[in-house]
Structure 1
Amino acid sequence: MFHGTITEELTSHKEWSHYNENIIEDQKDFVLVKFNGLHLKSMEGFQSYISLRVCIFSNNFITDIHPLQSCIKLVKLDLHGNQIKSLPESKFWSGLKNLKLLYLHDNGFAKLRNVCVLSACPSLIALTMFDCPVSLKKGYRHVLVNGIWPLKALDHHVISDEEIIQNWHLPERFKAYNHRLFFNFCPSLKKGSTYEDEIGNIKYITSKINEILSHNSPVLIVQRWIRGFLVRKKMSHLFLHKKHQEKITNKCETKWIYIQKGFEDKLYKDLFLQPGTNKTEKLSHWKYGKKKLWVNFH
């Protein structure tokens, strides 16, 4: 049996009978909600979740997601396995400035024009829309990849430079859909995962996508080499100055003591030939020519 709305589910479901009105009033402080497979058909009440950062609302009967408009702090939004057929207008998505991961696969999207509103999402990195009717449309991937500028991964594959730059034919290693670009960034949900687990997973997915791109994007590889060259060129005078300083320091540390022969003979007589001296000295090394002298006093 399902009750249709979040509030009814929280107050009526036997597993959550401990929920009371005070907890429901505190919804504005929630940072994570996970309503997976509860047969909910409405997101009524989500207007109060103003602090929400992770929303997992998968495998329900949702058709309208407009109540999420006030959740401007969202970083991850999982709506897969619902009955959504259309998305809100661009204004809705432009307000979600922190949204990075969006899971919309296994829904009822059929019109390519409708999903193009996601281009207003300023930070969207990864998106899934496979198993939707729109994913069968010709040019579906091309339109989304070139329409959503910050997007880096779509439907299990990181985006190739070949998909962005028109008529650029790359070697097999850099081609679209190759195995090096494959990444399943929507793994199955884990029971009992906490907010910290979800944030850690978001960071892992983001860093993994960036790592794959850094090794398989010719544009990024060339940019990295050019930046390295420019930095080395700009900093070369500092490295040369430092190297010169180290050379002078090493020279000073290994400097010999040169003693002229006349002074050397006098020093020898004063130290070793004077009678009655009670000092003990040891001459460790004595060499004529270019006179080098070490004298250790004990």
Structure 2
Amino acid sequence: MFGSPVDFSFRELNTVSDMLSDEPNPGARPLKRNSEQKILSTTLRLNNNFLSDLTGLMDTLSVLYADPMRLAWLDLSFNEFQHIHPVLTQLKELRLLYLHGNRICKLSEVDKLAVLPFLHTITLHGNPIVTEPDYRTHVISTLPHVKMIDFSAVTKQERELTSVWQRSRNPRKSMSHSKVD
């Protein structure tokens, strides 16, 4: 990854477009910019704000970032999200996604992230979904590349148990794989 993180945490943002009328928090290192003054970074911190949706995210990123599609780390923790916004599926380079401390209630929301091939770290603790039965198993099943969930490594044993869990939930599919034509 290149460049310092772009940090809009604790800025009382209500919408992502509010970033356009604000300056990021100063970091240990100054932000690198290209000749058009667009930020050279693959990280965005929007934690501890009042965001409830991500409408306008791609437009806002396009104004701020030199290459918004290379965003690899997005921190949306401690906001007001009840749903995982579909715009996240456009960020194909996303590797780390922090969603802890929000209001996500349905495990099916995680399913939207299955199209992100490089997503290896996700946090969801502090959301109502963590109380759902099979929460962690569902996340592992839905996001097969995930290596860390809620700052805890996914173990080989968990992957094996998830495989068994998947087969038990869809016995027809596992039977069709065992048949020889």
TM range (shorter): 0.5 to 0.7
Unpaired runs of at least 5, structure 1: 1-29, 169-298
SS in 2 for 1:164: helix
Match of 2:130 among 112, 132, 135: 135
**Map of 1:130-169 to 2, 5 A cutoff?**
130-166=125-161
Q: 1:33 to 1:99 in 2, by over 3 A?
A: same
Q: Is the 2:100–2:123 Cα contact (8 Å) retained in structure 1?
A: yes
Q: Is the 1:127–1:154 Cα contact (8 Å) retained in structure 2?
A: yes
- 1:81 aligns to what? 78
Q: Is the 1:46–1:68 Cα contact (8 Å) retained in structure 2?
A: no
Q: TM-score, structure 1 length as denominator?
A: 0.42
- Which whole-Å CA distance do the structure 2 matches of 1:154 and 1:52 have between them? 24
Runs of 4+ in structure 1 deviating by more than 3 angstroms, as ranges, are 49-52
Q: 1:166 to 1:61 in 2, by over 3 A?
A: same
Instruction: Give the residue type in structure 2 aligned to 1:149.
Output: P
Q: What is the CA-CA distance between 1:120 and the residue it aligns to?
A: 1.2
Q: TM-score, structure 2 length as denominator?
A: 0.67
Instruction: Give the residue type in structure 2 aligned to 1:127.
Output: I
Instruction: Give the residue type in structure 2 aligned to 1:87.
Output: I
Unpaired runs of at least 5, structure 2: 21-37, 60-67, 164-181
Structure with larger Rg: 1
- 2:9 aligns to what? 36
Which structure's residues are more often helix, by fraction?
1
Q: Is the 1:46–1:67 Cα contact (8 Å) retained in structure 2?
A: no
1:30-83 Cα shifts (integer Å, max 9, x gaps): 974211111111111669x78551101110000112333353111110111100
- Which whole-Å CA distance do the structure 2 matches of 1:63 and 1:103 have between them? 15
Count of aligned pairs between the two proteins: 137
Q: 1:38 to 1:80 in 2, by over 3 A?
A: same
Q: 1:93 to 1:122 in 2, by over 3 A?
A: farther
Match of 2:102 among 99, 107, 119: 107
Instruction: Give the residue type in structure 2 aligned to 1:62.
Output: L
C-alpha RMSD over aligned residues? 2.5
Is structure 2 residue 91 aligned with structure 1 residue 118? no
